Amino acid sequence: MSQIDELFQKLRASEQKAFMPFITAGDPDLEFTGQLLRKLDAAGCHLAEVGIPYSDPIADGPVIQASYTRALNAGTKLDAILAMLKSTTSEIEMPVVTMISYAIIYRVGLDAFLDKAIDAGVAGAIVPDMPVDESAEFAAKCKQRDFSLIQLVTPTTPRDRALTIAENSSGFIYYVSIAGITGERTALPDDLVDNVSWLRGQTDLPICVGFGISQPEHAQILKPVADGMIVGSAIVRRVAAIENGTSKDDAAADVAAFSKEMLSAISG
């Protein structure tokens, strides 16, 4: 059983939902990323998603794109990210997954990437640019190592394809709330709850919703049908304040306070 399987087994047993913050590795530097992961863990977050900077991100809006650019301009590399994660995951309770382009995994090599990621304490990967039709080999290798391969379902995914994605996923399914790019929204789509509820009836895998989730009210809407909520841009925007003169300590404190607010909404 993988780390993520164990997490959701515990959460379901206690009728809790997961809160998953997304942060960009190396924004503004890897030391801060490690410190922020520790702070999010201490705040009670259940799982962290760490974005691996990529020059051509898939489906990311301007806030996360800008964070990737800052990290790349700072010279952030995959091996350095994994070294930071190795020293951090041993000190925190929440599992960590990476959001990573398949181009990076392919360049490193499927087995080599898994060796490096597992050695760093990474529990799984979200690979947004890997079509499910081409995921069989990597999915099999992940399954052999209890490494979760989290795949995405969107509002425009045909239902038969959504079922195929669910069958080839592990850990949880990432349900994209909107047809578009990441970013904070004031309102969620009217049909989101119905769509997630339908998928909930088709699979035993946990379903976690991301893209546009940025307010406690969103958590209240999704609690009845989702197993977890993923928040990215609202957190990355708070980290970006460092570029405009906010201290790292103050930015981290702001992220932690916001995360606690979301956790309260999810558990309340």
Residues classed as catalytic: 49, 60
What single-letter amino acid sits at 54?
A: Y
Spell out the residues 6+ positions from residue 137 whose beta carbon is closer than 8 angstroms to its own.
110
Contact by Cβ (8 Å): 255, 40: yes
> In sequence order, what DSSP letters do the residues of 130-190 get, joined into one string?
S-GGG-HHHHHHHHHTT-EEE-EE-TTS-HHHHHHHHHT--S-EEEE-SSS-----SS--T
What single-letter amino acid sits at 108?
A: V
CA distance 30 to 199: 37
CA distance 77 to 186: 34
**Phi-psi region at 176: left, alpha or beta (left = phi > 0; alpha = psi -120 to 50):** beta
232 to each of 119, 141, 163, 258, how far by Cα in Å? 25, 28, 26, 12
Contact by Cβ (8 Å): 218, 184: no
CA distance 228 to 97: 14
